[in-house]
Amino acid sequence: MSCLLEALSIDVGYRQQGVTTTLLQNFSFSLQHKEIVAVVGASGVGKSSLLRILAGLEKPLAGEVRYQGAVLNTPHPHLSVAFQDPTLLPWRTLAQNVAFGLNFRHQPSLNAHERQTRVAQAIDAVGLRGHENKLPAQLSGGMAQRVALARCLARQPRVVLLDEPFSALDEITRHEMQQLLVSVLRQHQMSGLLITHDIDEALLIADRVVLLGNRPGRLVGEWQLSFSQPRHEALDEFAHYRLDILKKLRNSRAAINQE
Ligand SMILES: Nc1ncnc2c1ncn2[C@@H]1O[C@H](COP(=O)(O)OP(=O)(O)OP(=O)(O)O)[C@@H](O)[C@H]1O
Ligand SMILES: [Mg+2]
């Protein structure tokens, strides 16, 4: 595996009315080619802010983010983001919503045939063929999440960044989506970065779990998971990882609450 996306000593935070708040300080991270990383950490630690920076949507307060060795200051066609809320346009069909992902700035322009092919391939990849003409109101929550993933995939990214994408789904649908995500990323040799509050989800999906904690936040734990996929039948093997992550999560939250 080779390094694809990296953060070099970045500070993550925001400026409001002249006051700078630092959420993560001196944070370094790298995502390898074909690697899937899950990011966990207490609410408010700065996970979503970090994801926006790694996607090139915002700049860090300090330090720099590099994609394939070059400084990343703007969105990049190889990086595709899916947020928790699928945000489908209600008046557009499923296929049009998937195609919408190709309209962003910083996206190479495609002719009509190329667009159609990409949209059809992405819809196929998430198992929604035959539903192209449905409107969002006709879709279940799980289907809407599939559309959001297809919209992400239609851009043919190298890295998919997902912010709690499955948290609103029932358990069975969530398991299906987790398996789908892993198989799609593997098949297309993409890397993935997934933010989640669900430790089992992190253990099921990721090659590596990264825990952010304390204030200002930093990396407080990292676990390499070299178990083969699919893992749904093998959750017992992860019991000690789950306990260890929970323990460190609790300690890092206690450090925040003592302030
Ligand atoms: N531009 C901004 N202006 C004001 N507050 C901000 C801004 N960006 C982030 N914050 C605040 O910083 C904190 C951390 O935000 P962030 O969304 O990154 O946390 P998170 O780890 O993703 O939390 P959660 O797990 O709840 O999604 C939050 O309290 C948020 O309100
Ligand atoms: Mg968040």
pLDDT at residue 258, as a whole number:
65
Name the residue at shortest CA distance from atom 8 of ligand 1.
14
Give the ligand 1 atom nearest the CA of 46.
Answer: 18
pLDDT at position 257 is 66
| Tokens standing for residue 7 | 């953060």
Return the ligand number nearest the Cα of 47.
1
Ligand 1 pocket (Cβ < 6 Å) reads: 14, 16, 23, 41, 43-49
For residue 79, how far is the Cα from the chain centroid?
10
Q: Which ligand is nearest to the CA of 163?
A: 2
- Is residue 147 within 8 Å of 170, Cβ to Cβ? no
Q: Residue 47 and residue 249: Cα distance in Å, rounded? A: 14
Cβ proximity of 27 and 10 under 8 Å: yes
Query: Which is higher by pLDDT, 153 or 258?
Result: 153
Tokens of 230: 């699919």
Residue of 12, 14, 50, 59 with the most ligand 1 atoms within 8 Å of its CB, for mutation: 14
72 alpha carbon to ligand 1 midpoint, in Å? 22
- Tokens at 198, concatenated: 């669900």
Distances (CA, A) of 160 to 3, 85, 218: 15, 16, 23
Tens of pLDDT, residue by residue over 217-247, are 999 999 999 888 888 777 788 889 999 999 9
- Asked whether residue 87 carries a pLDDT value surpassing 60, the answer given is yes
Residue 234 confidence (pLDDT): 77
* pLDDT tens, residue by residue, 204-225: 999 999 999 988 899 999 999 9
Residue 251, pLDDT > 70, answer yes
Listed in sequence order, the residues at least 6 apart from 68 whose beta carbon sits closer than 8 Å to its beta carbon are 4, 78
User: How crowded is residue 134: how many other Cβ atoms within 10 Å of its Cβ?
Assistant: 16
Separation between Cα atoms, residue 153 and residue 56, nearest integer Å: 18
Q: pLDDT tens-digit profile of 112-151? A: 899 999 999 999 988 999 999 999 999 998 899 999 999 9
Most ligand 1 atoms within 8 A of CB, residue of 23, 194, 218 to mutate: 23
Alpha helical stretches, state H, the chain:
47-54, 94-100, 112-125, 141-154, 171-187, 199-205, 239-257
**Phi and psi (nearest 5°) for 14?**
-150, 155
Q: How far is CA 194 from CA 21, 26, 127, 160, 177, in A?
A: 24, 21, 21, 8, 13
- Looking at residue 89, its pLDDT comes to 94
Mean pLDDT of all residues in 3-10: 96
The average pLDDT across 73-86 equals 88
Question: Band of the pLDDT at 69, cuts 50, 70, 90?
Answer: very high
* pTM of the model as a whole: 0.93
